[in-house]
Structure 1
């Protein structure tokens, strides 16, 4: 996991509540926006989520915005996805009124999404939020998570809110772990430590070690040193490339001097 940067002020137009004063620049409320608003109000009135409305949070403007933010990567495991889900941080089955809320929508791979399910435990003694249907609350429907978080203090990590730096660790084998209770809960519920992911993370280091081994075979010392520097530089640059998967693992490897240690072992 890495911290995801989402501008909560740039709400996809189809998710904006259908109040005339929110569309003064365009002069009218778009039909897609009006329809989503109607479905939202129907869900709130009935106090339960209706699966037949699922297309409303999967409209093109929502998907396109999330793709630009997440770079086709899962919010939890960071793998690149050909298939992906527009997922809810707070489960829509419980928090029905947040089904179309911008600050509650994330992008996840089908596997993490499936394991996550409706897991959303709160610390013992904390009260789960309920919704009061007022115009003020509807107007703030896309920006309510921070207020809810302060009250509920949920165990599940929101990658758009909490920075995992220093709170998660990796092993050279690719395994992910944490001593932080919230990250431990998230890793367990989404099963981010599954073998497939561990193998893919480990392959990143294996490629680095293979390239270093090849560089060590260069007889000319200056040329060999230059080649090693280029390999290390590429690894560091890749760790900054938001398009690539497993950035947290790459950055952890750099911060913990794994690259240097591999090179020393091969000398």
Structure 2
């Protein structure tokens, strides 16, 4: 995982909550009204939050990578528009029952959306969203301004710095704290196929590093590029070659 800076792009017009006539605003208003009527199970329009303009904006700001496993996605799959705070309902444990409603009022909120590979999103994260203190959970749109009081136990790549919570021992992700531990476990970041893929990439990077150590400037440039945010698996590279984080 790497930190994602959404301040560098504009919110897609379809989700512009400042425009009360945008599709995202109108859909959110309808959800809020349904909640007032006692509705607790909602229907969401993926054509709005998953609109091409939304997906392309997320892909761009995430350097074409899954927000969780940091793998390139589009050459092999369409990828998902993922809700960090689950829209329909949430689980505090993957084996627990789904608790409804979820964060319905954030279904069309660009800040709550990321681009993810299907495996990270559909097989692992799904509706998992535990907090350090569940008594602080915000349960309706009436208290949305208090979201900052929540302390999620999985990494939010736009509001957390993943490097504060996760590092790599060779190709294997390791936790620095509880948030890192649950993120690795519940997002499947230590899955075998992903570790095998990382290892192959790391072996190639090590070969490049050996050439760079002999003074080959092209290899040095390639090594530095591999540690930059736009490169695949860049946190793993920086963890194994920490001096690259200090190279300007």
Instruction: Give me the TM-score of the superposition, normalised by structure 1.
Output: 0.74
Range with bigger deviation, 60-69 or 8-17: 8-17
The runs of 5 or more residues in structure 1 that have no matched partner are 21-28, 217-223, 258-267
1:69 aligned onto 2:61: yes
Instruction: After TM superposition, give the deviation of residue 252 of structure 1 in Å.
Output: 1.1
1:264 aligns with none
2:103 aligns with 95
Count residues in correspondence.
223
1:148 aligns with 147
1:3 aligns with 3
Instruction: Give me the TM-score of the superposition, normalised by structure 2.
Output: 0.79
Distance change in 2, residues 1:204/1:153 (3 Å): same
Q: Is the Cα–Cα contact under 8 Å of residues 12 and 57 in structure 2 kept in the other structure? A: yes
Q: Is the Cα–Cα contact under 8 Å of residues 19 and 25 in structure 2 kept in the other structure? A: no
Distance across 1 between alignment mates of 2:134 and 2:41 = 26
How do 1:1-267 and structure 2 match up within 5 A? 1-7=1-7, 10-17=10-17, 19=19, 29=21, 33=22, 35-47=23-35, 48=40, 50-82=42-74, 83-93=78-88, 94-114=102-122, 115-124=124-133, 126-133=135-142, 147-149=146-148, 151-172=149-170, 174-211=171-208, 225-227=214-216, 229-240=217-228, 242=230, 244-255=231-242
Q: Is the Cα–Cα contact under 8 Å of residues 49 and 96 in structure 1 kept in the other structure? A: no
Task: Please give the per-residue CA displacement for 1:19-69, whole angstroms capped at 9, x wherever unaligned.
Answer: 56xxxxxxxx5xxx2x33332222222234644512110112212211110
Instruction: After TM superposition, give the deviation of residue 128 of structure 1 in Å.
Output: 1.3
What value does the CA root-mean-square deviation take over the aligned residues? 2.7
Distance across 2 between alignment mates of 1:64 and 1:233 = 29
The runs of 5 or more residues in structure 2 that have no matched partner are 89-101
Q: Is the Cα–Cα contact under 8 Å of residues 9 and 61 in structure 2 kept in the other structure? A: no
Q: Is the Cα–Cα contact under 8 Å of residues 236 and 254 in structure 1 kept in the other structure? A: no
Distance change in 2, residues 1:9/1:234 (3 Å): closer
Name the SS for the 1:226 alignment partner. coil
Name the SS for the 1:169 alignment partner. strand
Instruction: After TM superposition, give the deviation of residue 124 of structure 1 in Å.
Output: 4.0
Name the SS for the 1:46 alignment partner. helix
